[in-house]
Amino acid sequence: MAATLTDETLIQQALTGRQSAFAMLVKRYEKYVFTLALRFVRSREDAHEVAQDCFLRMFRYMADFRGDCKFTTWLYKIVYSTSLNHLRKKNPDILSLDDEQHPVRIKDEAAPDASRGLEINDRNAALQRAISMLSADDSGIITLFYLYEQSLDEICQIMDLSMSNAKTKLCRARQRLKTILDTQFVTEFKEF
């Protein structure tokens, strides 16, 4: 029964005080929220804390969800901002959105042989390191666009940017990433 109820229906029921509806939303998205939080904060303990904070914020601001975007986009924005706030409080000087537990994957359409597989793994690790060298904003927008395949409209909502600002930030982040790859990872990306 819970699987057949839409997010919007559960939100409306939760707003009328039905606790079981909110519990269904939490159950439906607990893995999603935890996985995203872990991707940002890089620690399972911190990710659990961030996830709890996200669900508290979701409950507190649920009435603000207007339905003009997907619920997952709205929830992603909560996870993104809560994770960044957590990282800023924990360590204001270091803010990396990528780690070796969740590496960037480069898609290779052909079935790679063993040596090709090692080469792809090396490139993935190098790309992971290059992204971690970017600023938090650059790393965030690259991660949202390429890894989580968020549209520019969704990125605008998540990061509170105008469309032109999001396009500019993405373009500049790509350029900075390319500069890092060209200067510090030349051997790994010589064929790219």
Residue ranges of domains in the chain, CATH in brackets: 2-90 (1.10.1740.10), 114-184 (1.10.10.10)
- Residue 175 above 70 pLDDT? yes
Q: What is the pLDDT of residue 83?
A: 87
The sign of the CA dihedral 121, 123, 126, 131 is negative
- d(Cα 49, Cα 177) in Å, to the nearest integer? 31
Q: What is the pLDDT of residue 189?
A: 65
Question: What does pLDDT average to over the chain?
Answer: 81
- d(Cα 153, Cα 76) in Å, to the nearest integer? 13
DSSP 53: H
As a three-state string, the secondary structure of 79-129 is HHHHHHHHHHHHCCCCCCCCCCCCCCCCCCCCCCCHHHHHHHHHHHHHHHH
Question: Cβ neighbours of residue 160 under 8 Å, at least 6 residues apart?
Answer: none
Instruction: Tell me the pLDDT tens digit for each residue of 115-161.
Output: 555 566 677 777 878 887 888 778 888 888 887 788 899 888 888 88
Q: What is the pLDDT of residue 128?
A: 77
- Residue 106 above 50 pLDDT? no
- Residue 112 above 80 pLDDT? no
DSSP 17-41: T-HHHHHHHHHHHHHHHHHHHHHHH
Q: What is the pLDDT of residue 110?
A: 45
- d(Cα 165, Cα 168) in Å, to the nearest integer? 5
- d(Cα 170, Cα 77) in Å, to the nearest integer? 17
Q: What is the pLDDT of residue 143?
A: 81
Average pLDDT over residues 84-109: 57
Question: Cβ neighbours of residue 1 under 8 Å, at least 6 residues apart?
Answer: none
For the chain, give the percent of residues with pLDDT over 90: 35
